[in-house]
Amino acid sequence: NNFYISFILYLSIIVNFFYTSFPKTILTESLFFSLVNIGISLFILNEKKNNNFIYCIILGLIFSIKSIGFVIVFCFILLNFLRKDELNYLKCFSIIIIFIAIENFIFYKKNEIRKNVLGEVILGKTFFLSGKPSFKIEDYPDNYKPLLQKSKQYFSEIQNNLSNIKNFPARVELQSDFEVVAQFQFYDDLSLDQKKVYIDMSNKKLTVLYYLLKNNFVDYFNLSLNHFFGQWVAGFKQEYIEKNNLPKFNELLLSSGGINTKNNSILKIGRNLLILLFIFFQIIFLISLIKFLLKKKTDSFYFTLLCQIYLLVVSFVNISTIRYLMPVYPIIILSCLIFLNELVKKKNVFSARY
């Protein structure tokens, strides 16, 4: 049974051309994908104590190589705890911290500062949501108001246009792209005084986030849920763009990394299969979660939980793109196969401690 699962998993990976394309790019994704795959393999084999040391090293590398790696590491350790593995958590955390220290030492030996895009992400969400009627500028600090008035004027037409798109997958894709416009292209449209306010807001990004959550939490929550679905969506927006005019189209082109699906039936089939996979995965997660709560634990629960936590965190702290789905794509396929096998055979595929 495990042979068939392994074969179908392998086949599902090699036919996903987007997943296998990353070795050809100058990104850390290829190495990150490999480490996550090794990590999930060692998690499956973690009953053997001699695997624990290597397992902790892999977690340390995952944590160090990408900023989102800490979420993956948290998920792995949480699953070890839920499965009641014989893992020395103190030793594991120590190894992870050592790898973080080594990575920071090497980085700062050649660089003075480490920059992230958290400021752009928070401000991008704020500016993008400011175009909605529910966003009240008077609820925000006075020194932010001139820039928020500019952003409301800039994104109001965009929000109105998005709200009229009936094709939900296309709307979600475009919503994510316009949020990228808010993160980067919007800055180029500012005056010198407005750019000073922007820099001040970026330096106080956590304060901006506090006001956003305080005043427009529902808008932020709905946007994040759309991103959660949007992680599974690709190739719908192009058909809408071909038939409709969009505001800030030139800026949108700069922010969009879309795929040209014109007259490509294979990609059209693939995008629809991805939506079906999303629906099926949510169903098996809910079933596995109910079984877990009823103490009828299944192996599929651990894999689905890891993917859901990762995707939810990414959706709430960033935008949606199929690129962010790819690190857990093999785990998603694996969890579906394990669930189906458990359903048919009515037994766990991999042994676990309960």
Instruction: Report how far Cα 275 is from the mean position of its chain's Cα atoms.
Output: 16
Global pTM value: 0.90
Q: Are 50 and 87 in contact (CB under 8 A)?
A: no
Nearest to 62 by CA among 24, 26, 34, 88: 34
Instruction: Going residue by residue through the chain, which has 354 residues, state the pLDDT in tens, using 9 for 90 and above.
Output: 577 777 888 888 888 877 888 777 777 888 899 999 999 999 987 755 556 889 999 999 999 988 899 999 999 999 999 988 888 899 999 999 999 999 888 888 888 787 788 899 999 999 999 999 999 999 999 999 999 999 999 999 999 999 999 999 999 999 999 999 999 999 999 999 999 999 999 999 999 999 999 999 999 999 999 999 999 998 888 888 888 889 998 888 887 755 455 557 777 888 899 999 999 999 999 999 998 888 877 788 999 999 999 999 999 999 999 999 999 999 999 999 988 888 877 655 554 443
For 297-331, give the DSSP string: --HHHHHHHHHHHHHHHHHHHS---HHHHGGGHHH
Which residues have C-beta within 8 Å of that of residue 250, sequence separation ≥ 6?
none
Q: Given its phi and psi angles, is residue 284 left (phi above 0), alpha (psi -120 to 50 degrees) or beta?
A: alpha
- Local structure of residue 21 (DSSP, 8 states): T
- What are 255's two structure tokens? 């922010």
As a whole number of angstroms, the distance between CA 176 and CA 217 comes to 18
Both tokens of 38, joined, read 């090794």
**Measured between alpha carbons, how far is residue 319 from residues 205, 223, 276 in Å?**
17, 9, 21
Sign of the CA dihedral with 307 first, then 308, 309, and 313 last = positive
| Residues sharing a CB contact under 8 Å with residue 78, sequence separation 6 or more, in sequence order | 305, 309
Contact 35, 278 (CB under 8 A): no
Torsion of CA 307, 309, 314, 319, to 10 degrees: 80
Are the beta carbons of 99 and 132 closer than 8 angstroms? no
Q: What does the DSSP 8-state code read for residue 27?
A: S
Tokens of 128: 């993008």
